[in-house]
Structures are given as structure tokens and as C-alpha cells.
Structure 1
Amino acid sequence: MDLTPYVDNLRHELAVAAEAGGDDARALAERLTAPLESAARLTLLNALSAAMGEVTRDLAPGSVDVRLRGLDPEFVVTPPPAPEPFTDTREPVAAPAAPTPPPPPADADDGAVARINFRLPAHLKARAEDAAAAEGLSVNAWLVRAVSTALDGGERAAPPARGKDSGGRGFTGWVR
């Protein structure tokens, strides 16, 4: 995503506002625009990171990471692993009809995300970080996927396909 048009628009708006103040205000605005460019980019990155954090909460166990490529952010979407279909190789046997299961309780998975404190020995944390980095995921996304896989009892899904340019050279995390 190219942030230049947004930064240029901010610079233009500052120049228009300075026009009303005369030559001194215009000169001051011109001196301020260069240092403000990096502050404006950082503020936009903070806003994008916060927005992607909200998207990730709704997408769990998938995730959306904001990576910085040069001066511009790039969004990396990691979809949740697709469950593998069950194939029964046994010969079918007529079974009595199972009763209809009761509806799930009202507090069942409604897509909301809960925050927990998770204490992990340092050696396991390092291994989890290495495994997440090897798959191009954040540690949180990797842990959510691992817990989901463990609870579902299914095979671990293949890691998502990565673009030819990604090559593990990206950065993930939050900017403050």
C-alpha cells in the first residue's frame, strides 16, 4: 500500500491552511512538512496496525499482519487452516438414527475473541517463536492454530502458500 498520496494530501492541506497566515506562516509550513512526513507515515502505520489487529481478532485462527517494505506497508493474510474432510474406508453398516443434538449453548463460539495470560517456559517460548517464524506467522496466530488443531484432533494443515517475493524477509509485529 502506497502511503505517499496520503502524506502528500496532508502536506497540501497544511500549505492551504498556511496561505491564510501570510508569508511567515507559509515559510513555517514549508519548513515543517519534511519532518512531519515521517511522523505522518508512522501515525498511518499505527492506524493500519490497529485496524489489522481488529481484523485478526475476527479472523482467528487466521491473521492479517502488516509488514513494512521500504516506506510502505504490505498486508499479509494468513487464512485459517481448512479442515480436512473425513473419509471412512470401512464398509458401511446400517446404524440406528442418532438423536438430534441439542443446540449449542448461548455462550458457544460466536466469533468473539478472548484474551488470556499464557505462561510458558522460556525454552518452549523460543521453540514456538522459531516454529512461527519458519511458517511466516505471528506467534499468536501460530499458537491459535496449534490449539485449534489440538482440540479438533485433526492433522496439522499445510502452511499457507507464500508469494515468490516473501522469502521470509518480512517483519511482523506492532509499531508504536
Structure 2
Amino acid sequence: MDLTPYVDNLRHELAVAADAGGDEARALAERLTAPLESAARLTLLNALSAAMGEVTRDLAPGSVDVRLRGLDPEFVVTPPPVSEPFREAQVPVATPAAGAPSPADADDGAMARINFRLPAHLKARAEDAAAAEGLSANAWLVRAVSTALDGGERVSPPGRGKESGGRSFTGWVR
């Protein structure tokens, strides 16, 4: 998204307002427009980030992120994961403990923001894992935390389980 037309429009509006104040006001406006350009861009980026935060809250577990490339923001949309069609399992599956709320019961749509600090090597691994699954790092971390707290287990890749015996399952189990 190119912010230049919006910044130019703001510059024009300031010049129009300064014309009403005479020559001194016009000269002052001309001197202020160049330094105000970066402040105007930053304010527009903050507004876009806040708007995308609201969109993400309504789209959860999908997300919309604003990334800055040079002087222009880009929007990255991560749609909610599509659930796979049900297939009857041939192996018993672990279930969450009785009394634990199901994710549907616990999700009231409200979002909360936290600062999460982790070592750079773990961040890189989490980003790689998210990219491999076509998710944003945030969506991948939300899913990982949800799975860990809800008692879900990741099924071992084929050939790595105790009894692979020709049967293999992949995916997330709840």
C-alpha cells in the first residue's frame, strides 16, 4: 500500500490552511511539511496496525499482519486453518481430561496481547515451522499453546512411533 498519496494530501491541506494566514503562515507551512512527512507516515502506520488488530480479533484464529517494506506497508493475511474431513481412527486416540473445557467452550472471541520473549534460535525455529505449515508465527504459537494446554498430542511421523507396522497417522489430535 502506497502511503504517498495520503501524505501528499495532508501536505496540500496544510498549504490550503496556511494560505488563509497570509505569507508568513504559508512560508512556515512550507518549512514544516518536510519534517512532518515521517511523523504523518508513522501515524498512518499506527492507525493501520490498530485496524488490523481489530480485524485479527474478528478473524481469529486467522490473522492479518502489517509489514513494512521500505516506506510502504504490506498486509499479510493468514486465513483460519481448514479442518480436515473426519476419518475414522484405527488406533485409540488420547482425549483431554474430563472437566477440561473444550476449545469451542473456552473461546469467547476476546483477544489479549502479551510480550513473549524467547531466544533467537527458538524464534527462528518457530518461524521456520510456521512457514512450513503456511501459518504466521503468531498463529502457529497460538495453536501450539492451545494444544499444549488442552492436552492434545501430536501424532508421531510414520516410522517413528513405537509400532509403525504399516499404519501411519499425521496431524493434530484433540
Write the distance in 2 (CA, Å) between the matches of 1:43 and 1:117: 22
Alignment correspondent of 1:131: 129
- What are the ranges of 5 or more consecutive residues in structure 1 without an aligned counterpart? 91-103, 157-176
State the 4+ residue runs in structure 1 displaced beyond 6 angstroms.
Answer: 116-123
Write the distance in 1 (CA, Å) between the matches of 2:123 and 2:68: 25
| CA displacement at 1:145 relative to structure 2 | 2.5
| CA displacement at 1:111 relative to structure 2 | 1.9
- What are the ranges of 5 or more consecutive residues in structure 2 without an aligned counterpart? 91-101, 155-170
Alignment partner of 1:42: what SS?
helix
More contact order relative to length (CA 8 Å, sep ≥ 6): 1
After TM superposition, the structure 1 = structure 2 runs for residues 1-176 of structure 1, keeping only pairs within 5 Å, are 1-88=1-88, 108-114=106-112, 124=122, 127-132=125-130, 137-148=135-146, 151=150, 155=171
Write the distance in 2 (CA, Å) between the matches of 1:146 and 1:128: 10
Write the distance in 2 (CA, Å) between the matches of 1:119 and 1:71: 27
Q: 1:114 to 1:4 in 2, by over 3 A?
A: closer
Whether the 8 Å contact between 1:67 and 1:73 is mirrored in structure 2 is: yes
TM-score by length of 1: 0.64
| CA displacement at 1:138 relative to structure 2 | 4.4
Write the distance in 1 (CA, Å) between the matches of 2:87 and 2:132: 30
TM-score by length of 2: 0.64
Superposed CA RMSD in Å reads 3.1
Q: 1:126 to 1:4 in 2, by over 3 A?
A: closer
Which amino acid is the alignment partner of residue 112 of structure 1?
A
Alignment partner of 1:112: what SS?
coil
| CA displacement at 1:68 relative to structure 2 | 1.6
| CA displacement at 1:72 relative to structure 2 | 1.4
Q: 1:30 to 1:124 in 2, by over 3 A?
A: closer
| CA displacement at 1:123 relative to structure 2 | 6.4
Write the distance in 1 (CA, Å) between the matches of 2:115 and 2:72: 33
Which amino acid is the alignment partner of residue 77 of structure 1?
V
| CA displacement at 1:120 relative to structure 2 | 6.5
Write the distance in 1 (CA, Å) between the matches of 2:132 and 2:88: 33
